[in-house]
Structure 1
Amino acid sequence: MIKEIRAGITWINCYNPTFNEAPWGGYKMSGIGRELGEDGLLEYQETKQININLNPGPVGWYEH
């Protein structure tokens, strides 16, 4: 049943508990994005590629 509900947060047999570790946010006209938790932090990040060469020898074209 919860999969059918279009809501950012759903309570069952309780009301208004929330946790800093749990992301929450709106659906449709009440907003997009998430706050709190790991999902909230992702809104402020950009993916970057980082390469680290742990081989002490020459790299790439200079190997030969």
Structure 2
Amino acid sequence: YSNSTKYGLSSTVWTQSTSKAQRFAQELEAGIVWINCWLVRDLRTPFGGVKNSGVGREGGFNAFNFFTEPTNVCLKL
């Protein structure tokens, strides 16, 4: 039932088997999956949802693509 929703910001998996949790996490349609924890992340890594849970990613280098617009500047010397 986890993937049947139209949202996918985050998920948590609670189990004693980390190998099962990792396999299960790969199948989840979520922007971030916490295993045996919640709200723990390195702020340098991208964060964002999938499906109807927001647009783009915050944090990390992925944010540059979303929050910046490249400009080509030419100067004749």
RMSD: 2.0
Larger displacement relative to structure 2 (24-33 or 37-46) = 37-46
**CA positional deviation for 1:2:** 2.1
- What amino acid is the match of 1:30? S
2: CA distance, partners of 1:5 / 1:21? 22
Bigger relative CO (Cα 8 Å, ≥ 6 apart) = 2
Structure 1 position 35 matched with structure 2 position 36: no
Normalized per residue, which structure has more strand? 2
2: CA distance, partners of 1:16 / 1:44? 23
5+ long unaligned stretches in structure 2: 1-23
- What amino acid is the match of 2:67? Y
Structure 1 runs of 4+ off > 6 angstroms?
none
**Considering only CA atoms, is the larger Rg found in Structure 1 or Structure 2?**
1
**CA positional deviation for 1:25:** 0.4
**CA positional deviation for 1:38:** 0.6
Alignment: residue pair count: 51
Give aligned-pair identity as a percent: 38
